[in-house]
Structure 1
Amino acid sequence: MITDIITWIVGTISSLGYLGIFILMLIESSFIPFPSEVIMIPAGYLASKGEMNMLAVIGCGILGSLVGALINYYLAIRLGRPLLLEYGKYVMFKEHHLLKMESFFARHGHISTFTGRLIPMIRQYISIPAGLARMNLPVFCFYTSLGAGIWVIILSLLGYFIGENETLIKEYLRDIIIALVLSCAIGITLYWFYQRRNNH
């Protein structure tokens, strides 16, 4: 079944071209859970065969990720805040919790958004608390694009160099995810110490 899905995605990207990459990455980055691995790796593979331009593949992947993230961001502002303020009391979430979240993202939204885009199961949803906290939009777009860009480039290069070897892709992808999570943990720790020293 997985093979059939990947075959369908490769066919979709081949037929729709760069627009297909943009649309699929938009879906992946919004509130619909959809693994970016099955989009960008086949796209990178098509680039290796000369059917697509690698820079355009990466650009469409990043742009789709950003637009999908912006959908979550604005949905959180338009729907999430009113719902939380009205019904949050039933789950022990009060207005002062939202104010604390806003304060946190005002001070640390850049590092949270950037690292969140690199961590599986978080990258699609980090835009929601950013929207709830009304994080500065240009800052949000910059760090979302930066984090998404790193992930898109990694996946595209995997597809470009080893796109036909599914076993090797899984092995490399696992090691890359572990390395990214560890790097994010180290980066957050260093950032926390830096902020703490500045505060003192």
Structure 2
Amino acid sequence: MSSTTADGIAGWAIHLMEALGAPGAGVAIALENLFPPLPSEVILPLAGFTASKGNMSLFDAVLWTTFGSVAGALALYGVGALLGRERVVAIAAKLPLVDVSDIEKTEAWFARHGRKTVFFGRMIPIFRSLISIPAGVERMPLPVFTLLTTLGSLIWNTAFVMAGYLLGENWSLVEGYMGIVSKVVLGVVVLAVLAFVAIRLAGRNKGGHRVR
């Protein structure tokens, strides 16, 4: 398959890999971390398929995609670190339905479960990009963050690159199955946000009734 026979994200990723080789796969995955709508479920199996065609080694495909994952995560960690707690709290205070206490609860939760969240979060669609920002805000030790991100990304990337390598021309089957998983995760996130808004509005309405 070449960039002339594929379009959309797949065609773009193929073009990068044709132009840069394995580092192109790394660039694509780094951008996927920064822009979650770019699906690693397409890029990673495609890198594996490209390796099966002999255009790059399987080792290089895993190495460079993992490097790209870590690079993208570190960039988002930097965004969180630059924002810092004070700015996040100031922004939250201006948002409707958000209290500073919500930030404090999140901080306490992250202090208890942050390491597990960063590690396992690398294997959850959409969430794997977002988790790097609170890790930066909370200033998780950079060596720890980098190690956990590398290990989690290595597991995720290896699984999907290998799937594409073994499936060959049928690599797109991975995208189909993981597309369902991504939709489920997105649905859960939306429901959680709606539940949060509903609970917050209900609490404020009760408070208003008491004043009267």
* 2:83/2:137 contact within 8 Å kept: no
Give the letter aligned to residue 7 of structure 2: D
Is 2:79 the partner of 1:84? no
Label 1:98 to 1:135 Cα distance change in 2 as closer, same or farther (>3 A): farther
State the TM-score, normalized to the length of structure 1.
Answer: 0.77
Aligned-residue RMSD, C-alpha:
2.5
Task: Supply the distance in 2 between the matched residues of 1:156 and 1:38 (Cα, whole angstroms).
Answer: 10
State the TM-score, normalized to the length of structure 2.
Answer: 0.73
Structure 2 residue runs of 5 or longer lacking an equivalent are 186-212
* 1:76/1:128 contact within 8 Å kept: yes
| Aligned match of 1:105 | 110
| Aligned match of 1:157 | 162
| Aligned match of 2:124 | 119
Cα-to-partner distance string for 1:48-76 (whole Å, 9 max, x where unaligned):
11110111110111111001001111101
Task: Supply the distance in 2 between the matched residues of 1:9 and 1:31 (Cα, whole angstroms).
Answer: 14
Task: Supply the distance in 2 between the matched residues of 1:169 and 1:18 (Cα, whole angstroms).
Answer: 20
Count of aligned pairs between the two proteins: 176
| Aligned match of 1:7 | 11
Q: Which has the larger radius of gyration?
A: 2
* 1:70/1:127 contact within 8 Å kept: yes
**Percent identical:** 38
Structure 1 residue runs of 5 or longer lacking an equivalent are 182-200
| Aligned match of 2:28 | 24
**After the TM superposition, which of the residue ranges 78-87 and 13-22 deviates more from structure 2?**
78-87
Q: CA deviation at 1:127?
A: 0.5
